């Protein structure tokens, strides 16, 4: 029995050169100096319901859109039309590499410096099968070609099992790649570029040290437009989201959860497929629900940014872009895109999962062993939190003394306001992790130590 909610509900850890000189590219910082940040190989370490931004069409259409925030790319074509209206179209190349160019070093700002330093560590990923194709982004982990991305990018949201994967670096090198391992629970995957060397690994920050309001810079390939830079701030921390993912294992035999009042018809609509021309439709593929702890940002994130980097002002990765919320109705004429509410998987979780995949081919996640629900939907409790509906004998919750009716208000130092919060924070930790949990029973608050089991 798992504590994964079946229904989506709602809260992780948590210059100075003349202007006629040669431009500074992504391989140098704002002062023209080469930068080689390293992947340190170690993990350091309220609520919007959303659904994968996924899209796919046949290769004959020459367009394919990947899942969640998967991208739009020409399948065997060189350009994709970007238009402001039907009568005025501009053709933008999605195959020609575009380095981050600095023409006037006297007006360099923080975003320019971050882009110049980190863009070489972000790649564009193209995934194809016999009938489908899509693009996304990835972050370089090592000089010899390990790259971190999303599971939904390399599987087109679970639609393909044996894809052909190609990776284009910021300087235009094209590599074949193989999948090292995927982790559908955290929607993360690691791929390995063939015959790669001398790549620029990204530097990762400690995401538990983030503050709301900090600079956030996103680099990726939205709509297939590689090396695109957008910026904003960290809008919220300790956020949790529920995503219906076809790549995730079916949890229907696990614990049940009652969704909150927003349900699946709240202010944020779920777009499963988008053919890149404004026509959206719901997925016909049965999808399990996963709960993710995320960083929220207002930096523009669009289809194709998935798997790319969200960076701080020091050009360190603070998160891996994974999803966006879209407002509006679910009619076929609705266009889904960035509304300034984007989500990224925290760097600490991303590093842990990447390290485990590289070492073992897979990653582990904690299991509380309890069926949970939102207090607001099933209880008259005056305490906000995650209601324990049932516990599994011999599981982590039972061993810690939790009982049905208890309301969990804090887990591992993070405030819990819903069942999705609790599930996401439990999944943040690896199997066997020991942490503190606070619950309320009969009006009394108690903190206990809990050792998590392993989600299978």
String of DSSP letters for 36-71: -----------------------GGGTEEE-STT-B
Confidence category of residue 170, pLDDT binned at 50, 70, 90: very high
Residue 7 is assigned to a structural domain of this protein: no
Which domain-ending residue is among 363, 394, 425?
A: 363
What's the alpha-carbon Rg for the chain, to the nearest Å? 22
Q: Which of 341, 411, 331 has its CA nearest to residue 370?
A: 411
**pLDDT at residue number 108:** 85
Are 367 and 454 in contact by the 8 Å Cβ rule? The answer is yes
Confidence category of residue 160, pLDDT binned at 50, 70, 90: confident
Residue 240 is assigned to a structural domain of this protein: yes
Q: 284 and 429 share a domain?
A: no
Residue 84 is assigned to a structural domain of this protein: no
Tell me the C-alpha to C-alpha distance, in Å, between residue 95 and each of 168, 174, 221.
9, 10, 11
66-124 per-position pLDDT tens digit: 333 333 332 222 222 222 233 333 333 444 445 677 788 888 899 999 999 999 999 99
Active site residue 170: no
157-166, 286-295, 442-451: which range is least confident on average?
286-295
Q: 357 and 389 share a domain?
A: no
Q: 423 and 357 share a domain?
A: no
| Catalytically annotated residue among 306, 326, 336, 419 | 306
Residue 149 is assigned to a structural domain of this protein: yes
Residue 4 is assigned to a structural domain of this protein: no
Q: What is the pTM of this model?
A: 0.75
Are 192 and 143 in contact by the 8 Å Cβ rule? The answer is no
Measured between its terminal Cα atoms, the distance across the chain in Å is 9
Rounded to the nearest 5°, which phi and psi values hold at 429? -90, 155
Question: What percent of the chain shows pLDDT beyond 90?
Answer: 58
Which domain-ending residue is among 345, 363, 381?
A: 363
Residue 28 has pLDDT above 90, yes or no: no
Identify which has the larger pLDDT, 400 or 332: 400
> What is the residue range of 375's domain?
366-454
Residue 398 has pLDDT above 50, yes or no: yes
92-96, 126-130, 352-356: which range is least confident on average?
92-96
Residue 417 has pLDDT above 90, yes or no: yes
10-14, 211-215, 376-380: which range is least confident on average?
10-14
Non-local CB neighbours of 301 within 8 Å, separated by 6+ positions: 69, 218, 220, 222, 230, 321, 324, 338, 342, 343
Q: 164 and 289 share a domain?
A: yes
Q: 176 and 206 share a domain?
A: yes
| Catalytically annotated residue among 29, 129, 152, 251 | 152
Q: 65 and 137 share a domain?
A: yes
Identify which has the larger pLDDT, 452 or 105: 452
Residue 204: CATH number of its domain? 2.40.10.120
Active site residue 131: no
**pLDDT at residue number 250:** 60
Q: 323 and 210 share a domain?
A: yes
Non-local CB neighbours of 358 within 8 Å, separated by 6+ positions: 141, 146, 180, 181, 190
Which domain-ending residue is among 313, 331, 363?
A: 363
267-271, 364-368, 445-449: which range is least confident on average?
267-271
Residue 167 has pLDDT above 90, yes or no: yes
275-302 per-position pLDDT tens digit: 232 222 233 345 678 999 999 999 999 9
**pLDDT at residue number 424:** 97
377-392 per-position pLDDT tens digit: 766 778 899 999 999 9
Q: 316 and 377 share a domain?
A: no
Confidence category of residue 336, pLDDT binned at 50, 70, 90: low
| Catalytically annotated residue among 187, 231, 298, 374 | 187
Residue 3 is assigned to a structural domain of this protein: no
Active site residue 269: no
**pLDDT at residue number 299:** 97
Q: 45 and 72 share a domain?
A: yes
**pLDDT at residue number 131:** 84
Confidence category of residue 3, pLDDT binned at 50, 70, 90: low
Residue 182 has pLDDT above 70, yes or no: yes
**pLDDT at residue number 71:** 38
**pLDDT at residue number 157:** 85
Q: 205 and 347 share a domain?
A: yes
**Domain count of the fold of the chain:** 2
Residue 421: CATH number of its domain? 2.30.42.10
Q: 329 and 378 share a domain?
A: no
Residue 85 is assigned to a structural domain of this protein: no
Mean pLDDT of the chain: 76
267-271, 342-346, 404-408: which range is least confident on average?
267-271
Residue 150 is assigned to a structural domain of this protein: yes
Tell me the C-alpha to C-alpha distance, in Å, between residue 243 and each of 211, 389, 398, 430.
25, 22, 28, 20
Q: 190 and 253 share a domain?
A: yes
């Amino acid at each position: 029995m798992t504590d994964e909610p079946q229904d989506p509900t709602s809260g992780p850890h948590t210059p100075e050169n003349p202007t006629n000189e040669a431009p500074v590219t992504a391989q140098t910082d704002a002062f023209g100096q080469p930068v080689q940040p390293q992947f340190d190989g170690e993990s350091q370490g309220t609520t919007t319901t959303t659904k994968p931004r996924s899209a796919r069409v046949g290769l004959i259409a020459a367009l394919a859109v990947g899942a969640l925030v998967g991208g739009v790319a020409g399948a065997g074509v060189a350009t994709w039309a970007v238009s402001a209206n039907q009568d005025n179209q501009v053709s933008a190349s999605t195959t020609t590499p575009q380095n981050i160019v600095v023409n006037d070093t006297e007006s360099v700002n923080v975003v320019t410096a971050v882009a110049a330093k980190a863009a070489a560590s972000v790649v564009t990923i193209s995934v194809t099968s016999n009938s489908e194709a899509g693009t996304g982004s990835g972050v370089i982990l090592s000089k010899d070609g390990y790259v971190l991305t999303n599971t939904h990018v390399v599987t087109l949201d679970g639609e393909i099992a044996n894809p052909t994967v190609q990776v284009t670096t910021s300087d235009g090198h094209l590599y074949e790649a193989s999948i090292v391992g995927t982790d559908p629970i955290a929607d993360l995957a690691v791929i390995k570029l063939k015959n790669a060397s001398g790549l620029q690994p990204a530097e990762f920050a400690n995401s538990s040290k983030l503050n709301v309001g900090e600079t956030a810079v996103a680099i990726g390939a939205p709509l297939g437009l590689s090396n695109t830079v957008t910026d904003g701030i960290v809008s919220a921390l300790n956020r949790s989201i529920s995503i219906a993912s076809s790549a995730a294992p079916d949890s229907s035999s696990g614990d049940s959860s009652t969704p909150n009042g927003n349900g699946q018809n709240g202010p944020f609509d779920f777009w499963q497929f988008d053919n890149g021309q404004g026509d959206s439709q719901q997925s016909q593929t049965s999808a399990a629900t996963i709960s993710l702890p995320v960083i929220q940002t207002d930096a523009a994130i669009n289809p194709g940014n998935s798997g790319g980097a969200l960076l701080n002002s020091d050009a360190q990765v603070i998160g891996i872009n994974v999803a966006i919320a879209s407002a509006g109705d679910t009619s076929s004429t609705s266009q889904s895109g960035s509304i300034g509410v984007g989500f990224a998987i925290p760097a600490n979780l991303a590093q842990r999962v990447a390290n485990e995949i590289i070492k073992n081919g897979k990653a582990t996640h904690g299991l509380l062993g309890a069926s949970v629900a939102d207090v607001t939907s099933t209880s008259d409790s005056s305490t906000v939190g995650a209601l324990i509906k049932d516990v599994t004998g011999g599981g982590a919750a039972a061993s810690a003394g939790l009982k049905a009716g208890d309301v969990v208000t804090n887990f591992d130092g993070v405030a819990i306001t819903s069942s999705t919060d609790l599930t996401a924070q439990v999944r943040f930790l690896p199997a066997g992790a020991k942490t503190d949990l606070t619950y309320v029973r009969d009006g009394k608050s108690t903190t206990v130590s809990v050792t998590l089991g392993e989600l299978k």
